[in-house]
Amino acid sequence: MLKSMTGFGKSEANIPAFAKVGFEVRSVNHRFLDIVCHFPEGFAYLEGRIKKEIEKKIKRGRITCLVNIIAKNEEKILINKRLLKEYYFSLNKLKRQLKIKEPLRMDTLIDLPGVLTVEESGNHRNRIWRKLRPLINAAITDLAQARAKEGRALYLDLKQRSEELKNALDVIGKRFKKVIKEKIDQIPAPEEKASFIKSSDITEEIIRLRFHINNFRKKLKKTGPVGKELDFIAQELSREVNTVGAKSIDAIISSNVVEMKSKIEKIREQLQNVE
């Protein structure tokens, strides 16, 4: 079944060691698969992994991803014991020299420059992928379902328009047989008849149009990306219809040609959003 290239998916959760983790993905039409990711600072290294997950389910479209990660501060207290000992022995020596009897206090030593530092742990970077991957897949699944839902609507619309093309072509075919016979009967000279038939005969174009319409309808039922194939067929339909219009010898045929042109144009507009 057809899939649209437009959709949106989102997933988020509260995860231990993180205040909140979320993933958003949206897609619009594009000739190929183009993935752009936006990350908070320090998490761009996830880009390759995320793209691989998307490529498993999405084959065409411009995909924009937004990764939201609010990490809890995991702080670690570090004590510089070597420096603390140097402070201790140096201050004790100074105390003896100055004959100070007051004992050294630990809070005094801790406050000295360089003794105590607080370090934020970066271990969350190593753990985040295992937690984020299920959220990414959930959001991508939402996106794929949205694209499939819109694809079903596109399928019904394109199927209806292709049926209308077939009906208009049937009218042209029947009308052509009637008109060409009437016109030929009015031409006395064999040479003129041959010249008229050569310039006005649309039998081959009708055969090709019927083939392209049937092929279009078959491709509509295929699974997988078929947007480019369908657009190519629509281009061929447009080319053949233009030829029929140029050879038209009847107002009813011309009117149906105009109708077919309009429908093909609308089909091509819809196909811009088919994967």
pLDDT per residue as tens digits for the range 84-135: 888 888 888 888 888 888 888 887 888 888 887 755 555 556 677 888 899 9
Q: What residue segments make up the domains of the chain, in order of their start?
A: 7-73+126-146, 75-120, 153-271
Separation CA 82–CA 140 (nearest Å): 53
Strands (E), 14-165: 18-28, 33-38, 61-71, 75-79, 116-120
Label residue 151 by pLDDT band (50, 70, 90).
very high
Separation CA 251–CA 122 (nearest Å): 77
Q: What percent of the chain lies above the pLDDT cut of 70? A: 92
| Least-confidence region, from 90-104, 196-210, 226-240 | 90-104
Class of domain 7-73+126-146: alpha beta
pLDDT at 10: 95
Q: What's the whole-number mean pLDDT along residues 200-206?
A: 93
- In this structure, are residues 261 and 241 in contact, taking their beta carbons and an 8 Å threshold? yes
DSSP 44: G
Residue 186 above 90 pLDDT?
no
Residue 206 above 70 pLDDT?
yes
Separation CA 148–CA 161 (nearest Å): 20
Residue 51 above 90 pLDDT?
yes
| Least-confidence region, from 21-30, 78-87, 119-128, 185-194 | 119-128
pLDDT at 148: 94
Label residue 187 by pLDDT band (50, 70, 90).
confident
Q: What's the whole-number mean pLDDT along residues 250-268?
A: 96
Label residue 72 by pLDDT band (50, 70, 90).
low
What pTM value is reported for the model? 0.74
Separation CA 31–CA 60 (nearest Å): 7
Q: What's the whole-number mean pLDDT along residues 31-39?
A: 94
Query: Which has the closest alpha carbon to 234: 262, 253, 254?
Result: 262
Separation CA 64–CA 189 (nearest Å): 68
Q: Is 129 exposed, middle or buried (0-12, 13-18, 19+ CB in 10 A)?
A: middle
Strand order in the sheet with 7-13: 7-13, 18-28, 61-71, 33-38
Measured CA distances, 194 to 136, 190, 201 (Å):
68, 6, 10
Residue appearing with tokens 């990306």: 225
- In this structure, are residues 6 and 27 in contact, taking their beta carbons and an 8 Å threshold? yes
Average pLDDT over the chain, rounded to whole?
88
pLDDT per residue as tens digits for the range 124-135: 566 778 888 999
Structure tokens at 40: 């908070």
Query: Which has the closest alpha carbon to 216: 153, 274, 150, 149?
Result: 274
pLDDT at 111: 80
pLDDT at 38: 94
Separation CA 51–CA 178 (nearest Å): 59
Residue 53 above 60 pLDDT?
yes
- In this structure, are residues 9 and 146 in contact, taking their beta carbons and an 8 Å threshold? yes
Label residue 159 by pLDDT band (50, 70, 90).
very high
